[in-house]
Amino acid sequence: MAFDLGNLLTQYLGGAAGANHNQATDDFDRVAQSAPRDALAQGVTGALRSDQTPPFPQMVSQMFGQSNPNQRAGMLNQLIATLGPTVMASLSNGGLGSLFGGRTPSQVTPEQASQVSPEQVRELAEKAEQENPSIVDRMGDFYAENPTLVKAIGGAALAIALGHMAQNMRR
Over residues 108-150, the pLDDT tens digits come to 899 999 999 999 999 999 999 999 999 999 999 999 999 988 8
Same domain, 83 and 15: no
CA distance 161 to 66: 19
Same domain, 78 and 43: no
Same domain, 111 and 129: yes
Same domain, 64 and 37: no
Q: Are 166 and 44 in contact (CB under 8 A)?
A: no
Beta-carbon count within 10 A of 26 CB: 12
Give the domain extent around 83: 56-138
Q: Report whether pLDDT(14) > 70.
A: no
CA distance 168 to 39: 7
Number of domains the chain is built from: 2
Same domain, 23 and 82: no
Q: Is residue 68, in this structure, part of any structural domain at all?
A: yes
| Nearby residues of 68 by Cβ (< 8 Å), 6 or more positions away | 110
Q: Is residue 161, in this structure, part of any structural domain at all?
A: yes
Same domain, 42 and 66: no
CA distance 17 to 62: 22
Q: Residue 171's pLDDT is what?
A: 67
| Nearby residues of 62 by Cβ (< 8 Å), 6 or more positions away | 54, 118, 152, 153
Same domain, 129 and 86: yes
Same domain, 86 and 133: yes
CA distance 43 to 9: 11
Q: Is residue 145, in this structure, part of any structural domain at all?
A: no
Q: Report whether pLDDT(84) > 70.
A: yes
Same domain, 79 and 35: no
- Distances in Å between the alpha carbon of 156 and those of 33, 91, 98? 20, 33, 34
